[in-house]
A = this chain, B = another copy of it.
């Protein structure tokens, strides 16, 4: 801090007594210079905190150190949590994460991708909106930029997908619910924004049939991402109309379940797996808030850490190798049953 302001690498090089190209080399990879020069540079660095101009650097490199992270809806703590883990891993790899949320809007999703294109990212981690997404636009983007799709799998789009094993997870929950009480009714949105929902319904029906049980699916009306509200309204109606064939409800995701629980509470129905309860409610996702519902929500957890780690690992591999995979690679991690009080 004692030395005057350093304006550019030229001045810094002069101060450290090393030539500018060598200094440039150092900043691209400190290991690539001789230990003695490295030490000189780092000693100088301590007393004047110079940092290369990020714009000039990125202008001249073909590949930046930027990694885009796009999630469909950041105000959903589920995605916030996933993004947080991914972000941390990206930083650990020495890259700069750029976090963007599509706020549930397909147009904004495309804008986000265009915006990322402009900063020439080395790679991108994309959790697409799903049904509403502009598939063609995403396809084009994946063709141009090394992209790992995660969480939400749009069939046939992109080279790589990393996500949750919806089929396995759903089967585990249905098995548990059947063994521990009455078989579950499946509660979902009629038009879910996320393709995971369809896989869950299909797995539910298949598991029920395998067990020789009659599946029942109840679909709530409503568009958009206000899932609690949709779960609340649809749940209230279903309960009032007594449309449930059994006393057990398996919600397609935790946010719907949170709404459903609110509805049950209002109707003064006691929820839980304990004696004297009239209703069991289970969810799916292990949403950060599912531990604090009343009663605490029985659910299935994503393997958050594995999904985040594999996604980042994969995009890093794509970046380093520069290759594209011959065929589509899909990785799915099993979910884990979280038994709490609600079912």
Query: Which among A77, A232, A292 has the greatest number of chain B C-beta atoms within 10 A?
Result: A292
Assembly CA distance A99 to B87 (angstroms):
12
- Asked if A262 is at the interface (CB within 8 A of a chain B CB), the reply is yes
Please report whether the interface of chain A is mostly helix, strand, loop or mixed according to DSSP.
Answer: helix
A25 at the interface (CB under 8 A from B): no
Taking the closest CB of chain B, its distance from the CB of A151, in whole angstroms, is 16
- A61 to nearest B CB, angstroms? 9
Cβ B54 vs Cβ A118 within 8 A: yes
- A 18-61 to B, binary, CB cutoff 8 A, 1 in contact else 0: 00000000000000000000000000000000010111101100
The closest CB in chain B to the CB of A61 belongs to B55
Given the interface pairs A59-B55, A59-B59, the reply to whether A292 lies near B84 with Cβ below 8 Å is no
**Which of A161-169, A188-196, A201-209, A293-301 sits within the interface?**
A293-301
A330 at the A/B interface (Cβ < 8 Å)?
no
Docked-complex contact B77 and A75, CB < 8 angstroms: yes
Closest beta carbon of chain B to A87's beta carbon, Å = 8
* Residues of chain B with a CB closer than 8 A to A15's CB: none
Contact assessment for B265 and A295 in the assembled complex, using a CB-CB cutoff below 8 Å: yes
Residue in B58, B75, B262, B295 whose beta carbon sits within 8 Å of that of A296 in the complex: B262
Indicate if A83 sits at the interface (CB-CB under 8 A): yes
Within 8 A of B (CB), among A77-132: 77, 80-81, 83-84, 87-88, 96, 98-101, 103, 115, 118-120
The residue on B at minimum CB distance from A78 is B75
Task: Find chain B residues with CB under 8 A from A51 CB.
Answer: 118
Expressed in whole angstroms, the Cα–Cα distance for A118 and B52 within the complex equals: 9
The answer for the CA separation of A258 and B53 in the assembled complex, in Å, is 46
Within 8 A of B (CB), among A213-235: 228-229, 232
CB distance from A290 to the nearest CB of B (A): 11
Q: Would you call B228 and A289 a contact (CB within 8 A)? A: yes
Give the one of A75, A76, A229 with max B CB within 10 A. A75
A343 within 8 A of B: no
Residue A338 lies at the interface, judged by CB distance under 8 Å to chain B: no
Q: Which one of B75, B99, B266, B293 lies within 8 Å of A84 (CB-CB)?
A: B75
Tell me whether A291 is interfacial, beta carbon within 8 Å: yes
A228 touches B291 (CB 8 A): yes
- Indicate if A283 sits at the interface (CB-CB under 8 A): no
* A74 CB within 8 Å of chain B: yes
Instruction: Collect the chain B residues with CB atoms within 8 Å of residue A101's CB.
Output: 84, 87, 99
Question: Which residue of chain B lies nearest to A111 when distances are taken between CB atoms in the complex?
Answer: B91
Considering only residues 261-298 of chain A, those with a C-beta below 8 Å from chain B are 261-262, 265-266, 288-289, 291-296
B258 and A289 form a contact (CB under 8 A)? yes
A-B complex: 5 closest residue pairs judged by Cβ atoms: A265-B294, A294-B294, A55-B59, A75-B80, A228-B292
| Pairs A–B under 8 Å by Cβ, sample size 6 | A55-B119, A56-B59, A80-B80, A99-B99, A228-B289, A262-B293
Q: Which A residues lie at the B interface, using CB under 8 A?
A: 51, 53-56, 58-59, 74-77, 80-81, 83-84, 87-88, 96, 98-101, 103, 115, 118-120, 228-229, 232, 258-259, 261-262, 265-266, 288-289, 291-296, 341
